[in-house]
Amino acid sequence: MRTANQTEIPVRALTQSDLDAVVAIDAAHAGLPRRAYFERRLQAAIKQPALHVQLAAVDEQGVAGYILARRTEGEFGRRRPSLRLEVLGVRTQRQGHGVGRALLDALRAYAERHAVAELRTAASWKDHGMMRWLDAMGFDLSGDLVLECGVSAGFQAERDDALDLPTAQTPGHETDYGAPEGNDYERVERAHCEVRAMRAEDLPQILRIDRETTGRDRGDYIQSKLGEAMDDSAVRVSLSARLDGAIVGFLMARADLGDFGRLDPVAVLDTIGIDPAYGHRGVGHALLSQLFANIGALCIERVETVVRPAELPLLGFLQVTGFKHSQRLAFNRPI
């Protein structure tokens, strides 16, 4: 059902011709133009329309506001599909006139049509304006924890005696990162395994590892992320680790070049898995170390991830490797 705001403020799909208006609206808030970022997002939506929702609210002067969201299927170990609201902008003169609500209503309508369970987003707790808007729009504070690590801190962790990534042994236990057989960690020397960019021929072994650690078949999700990595290596970083001549672990992350209102690029770690037979051999630490090296070369200074509080083994591993609580908070809204 269309709301009054939607009737007064038409909402349609964002198009290439809207780029100048979107960049201008964003620059008015951010203080500098981010044309390359929005060009990349529009191109990504053209290549993979099923994974991106990009909408514009229009009035007699043109684009009054825009909202960009990304469909997620298995990031951060989640089971249900969701839409991550990543960018929202409203022309200064139209703020406070229902443009943001109209855009969110249209995003919710899309979610309902495409069997999406919830909307998710994140924002700095210091962004009081966004905090108020999220509250007014019905978002709740999520139980998930947002963690981050500076690249320099990650390399420091590499030089320390780090704890290896534990692995899951119980089929059906949902986690991308794994859990140990018990709560005890074992200090180990870093494995001398080969870590390199993920290749198409790695997919069967990666799917096997993912099934063993999550208890589910997520072939479509893993394959789509691998496709993104091969199509745009400047945004998606996917790594595989080899030991004893076999793939024994993998990691998937992406460069966040401006989502959630951030002006500095960040790498988002969303999936990691280790072969249970190779637990406590430094594979997870080797993958993270290579990730830090790769994103450092891209002039990215921070890595961010999201963890459920119940995942104590994962939290312990990330803390040892340099991750700390972020100043950003996670929010969600059921559809």
What is the tens place of the pLDDT at every residue in 216-259?
888 777 877 777 666 655 567 889 999 988 999 999 898 876 66
Mark whether 89 and 149 lie in a shared domain. no
136 within domain boundaries:
no
Query: Which residues, in sequence order, are bridge partners of residue 259?
Result: none
241 within domain boundaries:
yes
Asked if pLDDT for residue 331 goes beyond 90, the answer is yes
Mark whether 209 and 317 lie in a shared domain. yes
Mark whether 153 and 214 lie in a shared domain. yes
Q: What are phi and psi of 210, to 5 degrees?
A: -65, -40
297 within domain boundaries:
yes
Q: If pLDDT is split at 50, 70 and 90, which confidence band does 116 have? A: very high
155 or 316, greater pLDDT:
316
Summarize the confidence of residues 88-97 as an average pLDDT.
94
pLDDT, position 154:
62
Mark whether 67 and 170 lie in a shared domain. no
Q: Is the pTM of the predicted complex or chain greater than 0.85?
A: no
Cα separation, 105 vs 5, in Å, equals 9
Q: What are phi and psi of 55, to 5 degrees?
A: -125, 150
220 within domain boundaries:
yes
AA letter at 34: R
CB atoms within 10 A of CB 117: 15
Mark whether 189 and 253 lie in a shared domain. yes
21 or 257, greater pLDDT:
21
Structure tokens belonging to residue 100:
């943001």
Cα separation, 177 vs 190, in Å, equals 18
212 within domain boundaries:
yes
Mark whether 108 and 149 lie in a shared domain. no
Determine what percent of the chain is predicted with pLDDT higher than 70.
Answer: 80
pLDDT, position 25:
96
pLDDT, position 1:
43
Q: If pLDDT is split at 50, 70 and 90, which confidence band does 311 have? A: confident
Mark whether 164 and 83 lie in a shared domain. no
Q: CATH number for the domain including 224? A: 3.40.630.30
Q: Which residues of 206-224 are buried (b: 16+ CB within 10 A; e: fewer)?
A: bbebbbbbbeeebeebbeb
List, for residues 165-212, the tens digit of each pLDDT value: 444 332 333 333 333 333 332 333 344 689 999 888 999 999 999 888
pLDDT, position 286:
92
Mark whether 107 and 150 lie in a shared domain. no
Summarize the confidence of residues 6-31 as an average pLDDT.
89
- Of 136-140, 157-161, 166-170, 267-271, which gets the smallest average pLDDT? 166-170
166 within domain boundaries:
yes
List, for residues 40-64, the tens digit of each pLDDT value: 888 888 888 888 999 999 999 999 9
Asked if pLDDT for residue 148 goes beyond 60, the answer is yes
| Domain extent at residue 307 | 145-326
Mark whether 215 and 300 lie in a shared domain. yes
Determine what percent of the chain is predicted with pLDDT higher than 90.
Answer: 44
109 within domain boundaries:
yes
CB atoms within 10 A of CB 16: 10
Looking at 74, 97, 116, the residue that finishes a domain is: 116
231 or 270, greater pLDDT:
270
HEC profile for the chain? CCCHHHHHCCEEECCHHHHHHHHHHHHHHHCCCCHHHHHHHHHHHHHCHHHEEEEEEEECCEEEEEEEEEEECCHHHCCCCEEEEEEEEECHHHCCCCHHHHHHHHHHHHHHHCCCCEEEEEEECCCHHHHHHHHHCCCEECCCEEEEEEHHHHHHHHHCCCECCCCCCCCCCCCCCCCCCCCCCCECCCCCCEEEECCHHHHHHHHHHHHHHHCCCCHHHHHHHHHHHHHCCCCEEEEEEEECCEEEEEEEEEEECCHHHCCCCEEEEEEEEECHHHCCCCHHHHHHHHHHHHHHHCCCCEEEEEECCCCHHHHHHHHHCCCEECCEEEEEEEC
Mark whether 58 and 180 lie in a shared domain. no
272 or 259, greater pLDDT:
272
58 within domain boundaries:
yes
Q: How many domains does the chain have?
A: 2
Looking at 100, 116, 132, the residue that finishes a domain is: 116
Summarize the confidence of residues 262-289 as an average pLDDT.
86
pLDDT mean across residues, the chain: 81
Q: How many CA atoms lie within 13 A of 61 on its CB side?
A: 10
Cα separation, 123 vs 115, in Å, equals 25
Mark whether 190 and 303 lie in a shared domain. yes
Structure tokens belonging to residue 166:
């534990």
Mark whether 71 and 156 lie in a shared domain. no
